[in-house]
């Protein structure tokens, strides 16, 4: 080992640039236990993280880092591997019954999942994977074991954190269990590098989980700027979706669960129509998304709320749609409304802005990074429906507000391309590999 180390040191002094390139991993094992990159975002537990993994993997492959994504098989008869894109392979691992497992049931299946990952690895030569990148705490546990077993660095992305979610719970939402808090704390200690979406998330990792600040890198998620763009404009998108041309259309798009607070939008619309009944004939509120998490306990909850508030006639519930059609919903909207209680980043906010639509959001988590307040949208402190109603009233009164802010929003979103995010992630990989080698060196020195 020490001969290898001194050879490395000699090489690093001789050719720092070549070594830096050499340090980039060639092949990464990416772990996504509870949600498959092949699933439709907006259904079940599939959301922003799915989009994140798909886009990141493809852009990493484009800069010559091969990615293999390990995910749990959720239906029978799936092929063991699927080529998702050039340089990106999805591996389906059998762990537990295919159907009917909630995210909460998955910790019990982590042993089986880890076994499947190890079986896949056993068929390869030693050193086949250069690095493990795990997403969300469930994957982090598998990643921790895999990285130890394979002798590779571990990079982990939390996406959401139990302590942060529990500090910002919606009324009647279920707190995250203690087992998750313990699990997250262990992963933070074990990872060579942690990727945070925003500087605020970095602070939360340090404050709540005692993360070493030197190990936490901030990488803003990206947006697919080819797909989410203003295209042929609002009028054309409304025509395609069969929406009225002159209506005020505040849109909710995302998973229907208390955390995302679609009820706040409905309550805000009820307040607005109470104050201004004349708006009823020209407002339409689409809710695009599927039930998820604790929202599954009350599948009809939002429809019943719309009826109770007396606004069922202006609310339109839409099942989750593919990314192309989602871009059209964003283009068609007057404003995207995101009253979430907690968001690690709020990818949907960037997607809507890239499509040329302003955003009205809660000032939580990463949303103040995603939305430039009063320039590309409005940030509201707290969850008082009346505060959201006031902003919706501004959009109703000033028809030029949507196109004016929408233009600024599209420009703002340009700085969030996935190529930038992939290059920054590759740099984190290189730093993780370097500190991992230093760590190994100090233990075998």
Taking the domains of the chain in order of start, what are their residue ranges?
A: 2-222+418-444, 234-416
pLDDT for 145 equals: 96
- The two three-digit tokens of residue 308, written as one number: 């109770």
How would you write the pLDDT of the chain (445 residues) with one tens digit per residue? Answer: 444 334 334 333 433 333 344 478 999 999 999 888 887 655 555 667 888 999 999 999 999 999 999 999 888 888 999 999 999 999 999 988 877 777 788 888 899 999 999 999 998 998 999 999 999 999 999 999 999 999 999 999 998 899 988 998 888 788 999 999 999 999 999 999 999 999 999 999 999 999 999 999 999 999 999 999 999 999 999 999 999 999 999 999 988 888 899 999 999 999 999 999 999 999 999 999 876 666 656 657 899 999 999 999 999 999 988 889 999 999 999 999 999 998 878 889 999 999 999 999 999 988 999 999 999 999 999 999 999 999 999 999 999 999 999 999 999 999 999 999 999 999 999 999 999 998 888 877 6
Tokens 């390990």 locate to: 70
Tokens read off for 341 = 């209680």
* 79 marked among binding-site residues: no
The reply, when asked if residue 203 is annotated as ligand binding, is no
Q: Is 102 annotated as a binding residue?
A: no
- Assess contact for 332 and 310: CB atoms under 8 A: no
Q: Tell whether 420 is in a known binding site.
A: no
Tens-digit pLDDT profile for residues 363-389? 998 899 999 999 999 999 999 999 999
**3.10.20.30, 3.40.50.2000, 3.40.50.1820, 3.20.20.370: which CATH number matches 234-416?**
3.40.50.2000
343 is in an annotated binding site: yes
| DSSP code for 366 | T
Distance of CA 51 to the CA centre of its chain: 7
Does the annotation flag 321 for ligand binding? Answer: yes
C-alpha torsion sign, points 340, 343, 347, 350 = positive
- CA-CA distance, 314 to 284, in Å (whole number)? 5
Determine whether the annotation assigns residue 304 to a binding site: no
Residue 105 marked as a ligand binder = no
197 annotated to bind ligand: no
**DSSP per position, 36-64:** -TTSPTTSTT-SHHHHHHHHHHHHHHHTT
Residues sharing a CB contact under 8 Å with residue 424, sequence separation 6 or more, in sequence order: 217, 219, 220
Known binding residue 103? Answer is yes
Residue that has been written with the tokens 């907690």 in this structure: 342
Q: Matching CATH topology for 2-222+418-444 and 234-416?
A: yes
pLDDT of residue 396: 98
310 annotated ligand binder:
no
287 annotated to bind ligand? no
> What confidence score (pLDDT) does residue 30 get?
98
State how far the Cα of 133 lies from the Cα of 146, in Å rounded to an integer.
10
Provide the 10 A C-beta neighbour count for residue 178: 10
Q: Is 330 annotated as a binding residue?
A: yes
Write out the E strands in 178-334: 193-196, 216-218, 250-253, 285-288, 315-318
393 assigned binding-site residue: no
User: Any bridge partners for residue 316, and if so which?
Assistant: 286
First vs last Cα of the chain: how many Å apart? 8
Q: Is 204 annotated as a binding residue?
A: no
Residue ranges of alpha helices (H) inside 123-190 are 136-150, 162-167, 178-190
Q: Consult the annotation and say whether 49 binds a ligand.
A: yes
User: Does the annotation place 166 within a ligand binding site?
Assistant: no
Structure-token pair, residue 228: 């989410």
41 annotated as belonging to a binding site for a ligand = yes
45 is in an annotated binding site: yes
Question: Which pLDDT value is given to residue 109?
Answer: 87
Distance CA 348, CA 339 (A): 12
The domain defined by 2-222+418-444 folds into Rossmann fold (3.40.50)
Interval 4-63: pLDDT, tens? 334 334 333 433 333 344 478 999 999 999 888 887 655 555 667 888 999 999 999 999
127 marked ligand binding residue: no
330 in helix, strand or coil?
helix
């Amino acid at each position: 080992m020490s001969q290898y180390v001194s050879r490395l040191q000699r090489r690093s002094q001789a050719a720092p640039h070549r070594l830096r390139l050499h340090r980039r991993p060639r092949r990464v094992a990416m772990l996504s236990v509870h949600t498959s990159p092949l699933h439709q975002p907006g259904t079940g537990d599939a959301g922003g993280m799915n989009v994140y993994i798909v886009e990141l993997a493809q852009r990493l492959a484009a800069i010559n880092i091969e990615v293999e994504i390990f995910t749990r098989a959720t239906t029978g008869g799936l092929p063991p591997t699927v080529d998702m894109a050039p340089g990106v392979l999805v591996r389906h691992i059998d762990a537990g019954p295919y159907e009917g497992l909630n995210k909460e049931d998955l910790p019990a299946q982590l042993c089986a999942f880890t076994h499947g990952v190890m079986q896949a690895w056993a068929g390869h030569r030693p050193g086949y994977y250069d690095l493990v990148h795990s997403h969300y705490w469930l994957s982090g546990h598998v990643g921790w074991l895999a990285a130890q077993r394979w002798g590779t660095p571990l990079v982990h992305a939390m996406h959401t954190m139990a302590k942060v979610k529990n500090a910002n719970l919606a009324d009647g939402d279920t707190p995250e269990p203690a087992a998750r808090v313990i699990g997250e704390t262990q992963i933070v200690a074990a990872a060579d590098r942690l990727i945070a979406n925003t500087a605020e998330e970095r602070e939360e990792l340090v404050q709540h989980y005692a993360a070493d600040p030197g190990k936490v890198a901030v990488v803003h998620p990206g947006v697919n700027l080819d797909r989410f763009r203003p295209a042929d404009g609002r009028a054309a998108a409304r025509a395609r979706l069969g929406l009225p041309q002159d209506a005020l259309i505040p849109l909710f798009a995302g998973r229907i669960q208390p955390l995302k607070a679609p009820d706040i939008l409905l309550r805000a619309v009820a307040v607005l129509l109470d104050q201004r009944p004349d708006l009823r004939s020209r407002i339409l509120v689409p809710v695009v998304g599927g039930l998820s998490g604790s929202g599954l306990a009350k599948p009809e909850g939002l429809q019943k709320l719309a009826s109770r508030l007396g606004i069922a006639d202006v609310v339109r519930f839409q099942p989750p749609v593919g990314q192309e059609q989602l871009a059209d919903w964003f283009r068609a909207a007057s404003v995207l409304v995101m009253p979430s209680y907690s968001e690690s980043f709020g990818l949907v906010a960037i997607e809507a802005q890239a499509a040329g639509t302003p955003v009205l959001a809660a000032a939580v988590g990463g949303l103040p990074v995603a939305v430039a307040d009063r320039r590309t949208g409005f940030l509201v402190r707290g969850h008082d429906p009346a505060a959201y109603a006031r902003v919706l009233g501004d959009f109703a009164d000033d028809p030029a507000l949507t196109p004016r802010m929408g233009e600024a929003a599209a420009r703002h979103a340009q700085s969030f391309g996935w190529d930038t995010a992939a290059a920054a992630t590759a740099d984190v990989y290189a730093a993780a590999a370097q500190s991992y080698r230093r760590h190994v060196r100090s233990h075998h020195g």
